[in-house]
Amino acid sequence: MSGTPHHDLDSRALSDRVTAPSTIDLPTAGEDLVWRPVTAADIDLILDLEHAAGTVDHPHSLVMRDELEEEFADETFVPEQDAVIAVDADGRAVAYGSAVAPSAPETIFWVELDGTVAPDRRGEGIGAALLAWQEARGLQHLASCDATLPGWLAVGVDESATRTIRLLEAHGYERARWWLELERDLAAPFAEPPSPPGMRFVPYDEGWAERARSAWNEAFRDHWGTQPMTAAEWAAGDRLKASRPDLSVLAVVPDASEGERVVGFVLVDVTPEEWPLRGAPFGCISSVGVRREARGQGLARTMLARVMRTLRADGLERAVLDVDAESPTGALGLYQSLGFTVVDRSVSLVKRF
């Protein structure tokens, strides 16, 4: 992939640079469809739609109910304003879309657009109508920001979703970053590198939550598009049924103010409902990070070897993870050296303001 095009930042606040509509009309595509704002009572409808669309759009993963529940409970998401749904005469959700503002923007005001159309209703203009609504709501979010920050409307899609990519590019979105999904057979042997001196390795639990979040924010602050994770967002992740702190690992060192300081982490999720989609029990390595002060010692390799051993001992047969194809830490090379291979690709498309 070529690098992200350079865009000079306007010195004015986003609220002065972006013109947003004062009101947004609901979409009208699909003569048999009723479009309306979303409420939490629609979660089951949305989940059914996500599962139907997922068989085409992301056949190896599922959207889980508690993920949607946490999204709807997030104080930054107001479903009645930030999302729309289209329902057919049988009461089935045919389309759903949202435009969600960031919780803690520091370097980018990134509005995430997430949209889904039932596979049997694609090609009718429903997706284009949904995108127009999402963009209008996204512009309202951008225009609410008084900071001098880049403003992004961003969408993530699997690279096989060529129709969606064409639609987005026709509306001014650029392919900005590629993401790779990697997989490893845990039955294959792997080396056990030595531990860096002075470090202790512990499983993750809620007692480490704030120190682990601090380490995550520091480790990822130089990564493309990443903004700080709030305490509420971190706690929401911990509450998910997929979260497996017992299979995760933290690297900690003595610290005068904190007692022990988290300098590295590998966090794991396990979703048994997804195992049939890959044909084997697997664990998802959801985050790998090392603070700058602890880099260059092979710590990530050591933690990953520990986690892979733990996953195998727990009866899991594969490990799966996602990585930025252009990660500044060289993460892709590390994972490939540990035996991970690329099995899928997705792309972030961005419209900048």
Does domain 181-346 match CATH 3.90.1860.10? no
CA–CA gap between residue 49 and residue 44 (Å, rounded): 9
Mean pLDDT along residues 92-101: 98
**If you average pLDDT over every residue of the chain, what do you get?**
95
Ranges of each domain in the chain: 14-172, 181-346
Asked if the domains at 14-172 and 181-346 fall in one CATH topology, the answer is yes
Residue range 7-54, pLDDT digits in tens: 556 789 999 999 999 999 999 999 999 999 999 999 999 999 999 999
Strand positions, DSSP E, 38-118: 83-87, 93-100, 109-117
CATH fold of 14-172? Aminopeptidase (3.40.630)
Is residue 137 within 8 A of residue 168, CB to CB? The reply is no
**Per-residue model confidence as pLDDT tens digits over 122-161:** 999 999 999 999 999 999 999 999 999 999 999 999 999 9
pLDDT of residue 55: 95
- Rounded-to-integer distance, Cα 212 and Cα 164, Å: 36
Q: How far apart are the first and last CA of the chain?
A: 22
266-311: pLDDT as tens digits: 999 999 999 999 999 999 999 999 999 999 999 999 999 999 999 9
Q: Report yes or no: 315 and 270 within 8 Å, Cβ to Cβ.
A: no
Judge whether 285 and 304 are in contact, CB under 8 Å.
yes
